[in-house]
Amino acid sequence: MTTTNNTRVALVTGGSGGIGAAVVERLARDGFAVAVHYAGNAERAEKLVAEIAAAGGQAIAVGGDVADEVAMAEAFKATSEAFGGIDVVVNTAGIMALSPIASLDLDVLDRMHRTNIRGTFVVSQLAANQVRDGGAVINFSTSVKKVALPGYAAYTASKGAVDALTMVLAKELAGRDITVNAVAPGPVATPLFLDGKDEETIERMANMNPLHRLGTPDDIAEVVAFLAGPCRWINGQVVYANGGMV
């Protein structure tokens, strides 16, 4: 299934649902061959692959725990073997658990940081060694860091680590024309955000930005597509995609 010389290739972690699926669909529309990564829902990933193929695009599904360097090395290998290389890695995979610091179960803390910090590091390390010159690495942070909402300490701490990793990697890849950035969404209407929240909380958070709505996965995919495609002069940055939330 090797692509033509002009086809760029993207691997999207967490690509089977939510923001990740929107990113996959957008990059496929932009002409990328896409590897749709999943951790636990192979059926959903395969369905997305079939939809892309039906629309004339190229896609495969690859699985694995993002924090497992062996599993993710296999996912990178499968992508390169299918399409001839990798140009863009988008690391949307992440988990969020909310709790006050005083009562957070430390096992939950460890599990979240394993995915959000170690997982991002594993994927970034593989990307640093395999993304072709002229490519892009796009990690995922969060805008909630800026507003310090109660209950979000562990999650935002993990995403603060993503910011630091992203900025350092951009400098470490100097000379290869590879951009490394992080996208920091505000509240987005996905199951990850909506789960466990009542209507009052959702409305309050929707009104934290002057557009007075939640973001959509497509809003975030638009930013990713810009960083993955035409944008070559934004590098080592955290791009806040939040409708103006401060």
Task: Please report whether residue 13 resides in a domain.
Answer: yes
CA distances from 65 to 68, 98, 115, 226 (A): 5, 22, 8, 27
Higher pLDDT, 46 or 194: 46
Task: Please report whether residue 3 resides in a domain.
Answer: no
Task: Please report whether residue 2 resides in a domain.
Answer: no
Give the whole-angstrom CA distance, residue 153 versus residue 200: 21
Task: Please report whether residue 246 resides in a domain.
Answer: no
pLDDT exceeds 90 at position 241: yes
Task: Please report whether residue 59 resides in a domain.
Answer: yes
Over residues 27-40, mean pLDDT:
97
Task: Please report whether residue 4 resides in a domain.
Answer: no
The type of residue at 3 is: T
Give the whole-angstrom CA distance, residue 115 versus residue 31: 29
Under the banding of pLDDT at 50, 70 and 90, the label for residue 5 is low
pLDDT in tens, 152-169: 999 999 999 999 999 999
pLDDT in tens, 98-113: 999 999 999 999 999 9
Is 240 in the active site? no
> Which residue range forms the structural domain that includes residue 141?
9-241
> What's the CATH code of the domain at 142?
3.40.50.720
Structure tokens at 225: 């597509």
Task: Please report whether residue 192 resides in a domain.
Answer: yes
Other C-beta atoms closer than 10 Å to the C-beta of 6 total: 6
Closest C-alpha to 88, from 33, 45, 125:
33
Count the domains in the chain: 1
Task: Please report whether residue 53 resides in a domain.
Answer: yes
pLDDT in tens, 208-233: 899 999 999 999 999 999 999 989 99
pTM for the whole thing?
A: 0.94
